[in-house]
Structure 1
């Protein structure tokens, strides 16, 4: 029960940030849960399930802002990456995965901090597919499937609501595929984790709503600065707790 409460607290803190930025829940929840002593397999499953449930609600609420073609391209392209990630999990010790994910996350944050083009253009179809594949791989290995897509969309300089809406659609597709693959091809047993999963869903839904309320009050500049800082800090925390 102590672990369940700890996981709920970690998820609550992370969901406020995730609701405000559209992507930060897993990035923040992962290092917090590692510090609390929760195992990596449990963290991955909880993050993916909570992310799926909360993003379904967000995607529905912001459906008018979603670019459905982009979501279909990125989400569909995540399948081969997620499949490869499952085999990686079965072959490599997990201590090699976390530092690598942390480094990748920090690099994404640093690239996001670079000046944007004066006339940003929507990502190309090839870029959507490539980034979707990378996100799928990170999804099943670490559940940190947000940074590549965050980087892609941030370079397009989307309005905050469109940014959050497209990310929500992507997470719905990718998290669903990832959970199905993990359940079918690994030893992951979500049923055995039901108390933790239900508790984190409740915590995630409540505090994600709080974060969404904050997002509606952020300027574009503040929103972008917050996402950059969040990504870099989360990457450093992930490396430190690996």
Structure 2
């Protein structure tokens, strides 16, 4: 097990960067943080840290944006994600780390492809929500990168930005709490990870504040392109890490 304290500065820098993106876009925290962290720490450690910090971030933003939430859509995704969670935990517990890193990288790149397509699914059957929610639940427990299926679906349903951001944070708050419960019961959360989370929380909160300020001034189209580029680089770095062992 890698000593997390030896990499605290780089972890904090990654958390700051990822939390700014999360605050502006409403998603992207774990998608950016986990692939970058696995370059320095164990994948299981990165997943636990991202899940704990991401849930704290999502809870705060879900409360802040609570008046914009589309709760009927959110509840479908939450239930479907919980149904997919056992499969994701099995991967987290039993799969080889290099395989999981490759899965993480491919999942991120798949998410980039889905987000870049920008399909219109306003009138699609709700079964799409259940399918994407289930897939998100698998990814949540396996790699903490559950965003792409849900973000893709909400964007394709053409929700306005405030509603999309609020609904995403509600979904990720609920699934994050569920995931933390599973990891805790399974004894997968350790003291060194909790200590890093405690030390990194002020950094994350600073990133959220910076993001709130930035999103009032930043061009949404340009920002989306930047995020997709960064996600692509993160996904590729995870795949390279899996090949190098």
Both proteins in one fold, TM over 0.5: yes
1:15 correspondence with 2:24: no
Q: Could you report, residue by residue, the CA deviation over 1:162-221 in whole angstroms, capped at 9, with x for unpaired residues?
A: 221111011101111111112223x41343422201112221111012112222334443
Q: Deviation at 1:104?
A: 2.3
What's the CA shift for 1:30?
1.2
Q: Distance in 2 between matches of 1:230 and 1:164?
A: 19
Structure 1 distance, partners of 2:74, 2:48, is: 22
Q: CA RMSD in A?
A: 2.0
Structure 1 residues 13-41: Cα deviation after superposition (integer angstroms, max 9, x where no partner):
11111111111111111122122x21111
Tell me what 1:233 maps to: 233
Summarize deviations over 1:204-240 as a string: whole Å, max 9, x none: 1110121122223344433543443343333223222
Q: Which moved more, 1:42-51 or 1:214-223?
A: 214-223
Give the corresponding residue for 1:125.
126
Within-5 A mapping of 1:1-242: 1-35=5-39, 37-114=40-117, 116-117=119-120, 121=122, 124-185=125-186, 187-242=187-242
- CA spacing shift, 1:237–1:86, aligned 2, 3 Å: same
Residue by residue over 1:32-56, the C-alpha shift from the partner in whole angstroms, topping out at 9 and shown as x without a partner, is 2122x21111111111111111111
Q: TM-score, normalised by structure 2?
A: 0.88
| SS in structure 2 of the partner of residue 195 of structure 1 | helix
What SS does the corresponding residue of 1:121 show, helix, strand or coil?
Answer: coil
Deviations 1:132-186 (A, max 9, x none): 111111111111111111111121233222221111011101111111112223x
Kindly indicate whether the alpha-carbon contact (under 8 Å) linking 1:85 and 1:136 is maintained by their aligned counterparts in 2: yes
Residues 123 and 152 in structure 1, CA contact (< 8 A), matched pair in contact too: no
Distance 1:94 1:123 in 2: 36
Q: Partners in 1 of 2:78 and 2:233 — Cα distance?
A: 26
Q: Which deviations, in whole Å up to 9, do the C-alpha atoms of 1:89-134 show, x marking residues without a partner? A: 22221211111221122122123222544xx516542111111111
Unaligned runs of 5+ in 2: none
